Chains A and B, each alone.
Chain A
Amino acid sequence: MKKIKTLAIANRGEVAVRIIRACEELGIDTLLLHSEADINSRAYRMATKKICIGPAPTAQSYLSVEANINGALAGSADAIHPGFGFLSENADFAEAVARAGMIFVGPSAEAIRQLGDKINCKKLAEQAGLPLIPGYQGSDQNLEKLISEAEKIGFPVIVKAAAGGGGRGMKLIHSASEARELIESAQRESLSAFGSSLVFLEKYLDRAKHIEFQIFGDSSGRVVHLFDRECSVQRRHQKIIEEAVAANLTDELRHKMGEAAITIARLGKYKGAGTVEFLLQDEKFYLLEVNTRLQVEHPVTEMVLGIDLVKAQILTAEGNFLFKDENFSPRGHAIEGRVYAENPYQNGIPSTGLLGHVHFPEGPGRRFEYGFEAGDKITPFYDPMIAKVIVWDESRSRAIQKMIKTLEDSVVFGVHTNIPYLIEILQHPDFVTGTMTTKFIEKNFAEGLKSKPISDLEKVLFEKVALSIKGNGGQSDTQGQSVHLNDKSKSPWSHHWRII
Chain B
Amino acid sequence: MIAAQKVKIKIDGKDQDVLAQKVENHIWIYYRGRTYALPLDNQKKGRRKSELSTGDAKIISAPMPGKITKLLFSEGQLVEAGKVVVVMEAMKMEYTLKAESVGKIKKVNIKIGDQVSLGQLLIEFESDAKKDQK
Contact = CB atoms under 8 A, between A and B. Distances in A.
Contacts of B65: 352, 380
A382 B35 CA distance: 24
A475 B4 CA distance: 9
A498 B33 CA distance: 17
B51 interface: yes
Contacts of A384: 91, 93
Given A413-B23, A465-B7, A466-B38, A347 B91 contact: no
B11 A347 contact: no
Nearest to A482: B10
Interface stretch (B14-22, B73-81, B99-107, B120-128): B14-22
B11 A461 contact: yes
A479 B52 contact: no
Nearest to B89: A192
Given A413-B30, A465-B7, A497 B38 contact: yes
Interface in A271-314: none
Given A356-B28, A448-B50, A462-B36, A483 B9 contact: yes
A476 B20 contact: yes
A346 B50 contact: yes
B21 A236 contact: no
A409 B33 contact: yes
B42 interface: yes
B37 A356 contact: no
A496 interface: yes
A411 interface: yes
Nearest to B3: A357
Contacts of A420: 34-35
Given A188-B94, A353-B24, A457-B16, A466 B29 contact: yes
Contact of B84 (A181, A188, A466): A181
A429 interface: no
A353 B64 CA distance: 11
A185 B70 CA distance: 9
Interface in A457-471: 457-458, 460-462, 464-466, 468-470
A480 B64 contact: no
Contacts of B87: 185, 188
Interface residues of A, number: 73
Question: Could you say which of A356, A458, A466, A482 has the most chain B C-beta atoms within 10 Å of its C-beta?
Answer: A356
A189 B37 contact: no
A483 B36 CA distance: 20
A350 B90 contact: yes
Given A188-B70, A349-B52, A356 B21 contact: yes
Interface string A474-488: 111011111111000
Contact of A485 (B5, B12, B29, B34): B12
A345 interface: yes
Contacts of A439: none
Interface in A187-207: 188-189, 192-193
A181 B40 CA distance: 40
Given A383-B91, A478-B7, A349 B63 contact: yes
Given A476-B20, A483-B10, A492-B42, A411 B29 contact: no
A188 B3 CA distance: 42
Given A357-B3, A465-B29, A479-B7, A496 B39 contact: yes
Contacts of A185: 87, 94
B87 to A, nearest CB: 7
Contacts of A353: 23-24
A22 to B, nearest CB: 26
Contacts of A193: 92
Given A193-B92, A349-B64, A499-B36, A356 B10 contact: no
B11 A483 contact: yes
Contact of A357 (B4, B8, B34): B4
Contacts of A497: 38
A72 B1 CA distance: 35
Given A345-B50, A349-B64, A382-B92, A356 B23 contact: yes
A319 interface: no
A481 to B, nearest CB: 5
A479 B89 CA distance: 44
A408 B24 CA distance: 24
B2 A474 contact: yes
A238 B22 CA distance: 32
Question: Could you say which of A185, A414, A419, A469 has the most chain B C-beta atoms within 10 Å of its C-beta?
Answer: A469
A333 interface: no
A411 B92 contact: no
Contacts of B40: 470
A58 B67 CA distance: 13
B65 to A, nearest CB: 4
A426 interface: no
Contacts of A478: 7, 9
A354 interface: yes
Going nearest first, the 5 A-B pairs with the smallest beta carbon separation are A408-B33, A357-B4, A356-B23, A413-B28, A474-B22
Interface of B: 1-5, 7-12, 16, 18-24, 26-31, 33-40, 42, 46, 50-52, 63-67, 69-70, 84, 87, 89-94
29 contacts: A188-B94, A192-B89, A236-B93, A347-B50, A349-B64, A350-B90, A350-B91, A350-B93, A356-B28, A374-B1, A414-B24, A414-B28, A417-B35, A457-B12, A458-B31, A461-B11, A462-B18, A462-B29, A462-B31, A462-B36, A465-B9, A468-B7, A469-B5, A469-B21, A479-B7, A480-B10, A493-B38, A496-B39, A500-B36
